[in-house]
Amino acid sequence: MANRLCRGIPDHSRKAGPGHTAIGTGHYLCAMFVYRCFVLLFLIWCPILSLGQAIPGIIPKPVSIARNGEADISLHGQVQLFGDSQLHRQVIYLYDMLRTHCGLSARIIAGDSLPNPTIPLIRLQLADTMRPANAYSLTIGGNTGLLRATDITGIVHGMQTLLQLLPLGKKDSMILPALIIKDHPRFAYRGMHLDVVRHMFPVSYIRKYIDYLAFHKFNTFHWHLTDDQGWRIEIESYPKLNSIGSWRDSTLIGHFRDTPARYDGTRYGGYYTSTEVREIIDYAAVRGITIIPEIDIPGHSRATIAAYPAFSTDPSARWNVATTWGMYNRQNNVLAPNDQTIAFLKAVFHEVADLFPAPYVHLGGDECSKLWWKQSPATQAFMRAKGIANETALQTWFVEQVGAFLREKGKIVVGWHEIMDGNLDRSTIIMNWSNDAKAIEAVRKGYRVIQTPGKPFYFDHYQSRNPSDSLAIHGYNPMEAVYRYEPVPTAIAGTADEARILGGQANVWTEYMGSPEKVDYMVLPRMTALAENLWTPRALKNYEDFLQRVKSVMLPRYQYWGSLWFRDFEQWGADK
């Protein structure tokens, strides 16, 4: 034994000559040294190895996760569920997820019933003392899993963590590890956007997209519903928005920059009825997701003026719903300031505000060309009469008019960063799709800011430099860049202004996404990187560790969801 243990280790105790005793002692001492080192290493590493085996990778990475010293829960195909009365729908949601996720047969315990002590119990409980919003704790051990959260959204976040602790696919038995997880998001606002104008998607896919958001612990779905290429929401007070404005005669083929431009010649369009919208809002609410609707004004309004030319700067013209992208300064797509337009905006935004329970309404305000206002005698006369100094101030006037309507309805205005070019009400929330300098400008003007920078949070950009990759608008935003981007600009980090950065969002403009499968390909796995970016404390983020969890945690789920994803995410990294 000693010879085998000490092979390759010099024996300095060995003397010259045939001293048998010296040789034996040296081998014995060496063997004891190695044995003790082995025992010491075993004692050090065994708990670590046990912990590593007991705690699977979770995305986004939690703030705190540890063993709690109790026994793991052994699940043999069944579990009991109990929740506070306010969480009844979340209990049903968890019931469905456990059944489809891993084949667990769950029993929902009514408030006046006693659980069976021999069957594992998962309890959902609201806790007013927990901070911040969307925080949760998950304590698992013995025969019980207790999920506590500040609010419904936090409960759903904790449910998603619980599901990641269980295997995918039906199993006869499984182990729920005994853990204590204390978790909360870094940022209050964590969103994903989807443009359904350039291409429209069925209600079934909107639900699936919301499921993506719920799994990733986002809390906001920004639904871009109107633009130059179509009007995608039913408006009862102005029905031509749907009979005319929701349909275009053709769609661009290939890239916008191709010469000559080519079109498919096929009528394209549709809209979501009020009933469908209510169903989607309800579906999202169960999953802790707030939906912010966007009605884009005063630019990006070509579909509006196609339906109602009186709202344009040239009422005598007949406008078509746009069939191409890139309208800025190329085709007239702005609203004219007049009494008819204001009555229209008031009616539309009142309908939208009544339909969506979210405290926010997004009114766009981006890429509003001033060219058409400059060329309109009626607009110039209106500006003189109202004392509006210039076209930038006119844009602000539009935003303030709509803002006043929305404040009457108890709503907060959200808009793209261009709306702050004038002297805008500081209660407005700015979505910054430009660079950090623009975010700093907004914060120092007194606005709250949501970071949605084109680089790297635009998921319509390429995620590789492969020239044969699927068509995208332009640019290069690989997954690594999404993960490593810091939403708080360095210039304001650690100052009081940092609190004005509410969080972040990725934008999914669909000019080149004509199907749900293409949307999946463009957002996965970048959505996963964004989720951890906005949730996990900066000090806990580690890209190499994240990559391993994407492969072990997420790829099986993408496959389970029946979703496409960009498979070469490891090959293409951030620019250095």
Query: Could you give the domains of the chain?
Result: 2-39 (no CATH), 64-183 (3.30.379.10), 189-561 (3.20.20.80)
Beta-sheet pairing, 230-231 with 262-263: unpaired
Q: Where are the alpha helices (DSSP H) in 165-296?
A: 203-215, 240-243, 274-286
Which residues of the chain fall below pLDDT 70?
1-55, 576
SS3 per residue for 556-575: HHHHHHCCCCCCCCCCCCCC
Contact criterion met (CB below 8 Å) for 457 and 475: no
| CA dist list (Å): 317 to 299, 302, 345 | 17, 12, 21
Tokens 């045939």 found at: 18
- 132 within 8 A of 185, measured Cβ to Cβ: yes
Residues taking part in catalysis:
227, 300, 367
Q: Quick one: angle between helices 391-408 and 377-386, nearest 10?
A: 70
Give CA–CA dist 127/150, Å, rounded: 5
Instruction: State the Cα–Cα distance between residues 504 and 487, nearest whole angstrom.
Output: 7
Structure tokens at 336: 């004219």
Neighbouring-strand partners of residue 108: 81
Q: Work out whether strand 252-253 and strand 226-227 pair parallel, antiparallel, or are unpaired.
A: unpaired
Check residue 55 and give its pLDDT: 60
The secondary structure of residue 476, as a DSSP letter, is B
* Residue 503 phi, psi dihedral angles, 5° rounding: 155, -150
Predicted local confidence at residue 421, as pLDDT: 86
Nearest-angstrom CA–CA distance, 355 and 281: 9
Q: What pLDDT sits at residue 129?
A: 79
* pTM: predicted TM-score of the whole model, two decimal places: 0.90
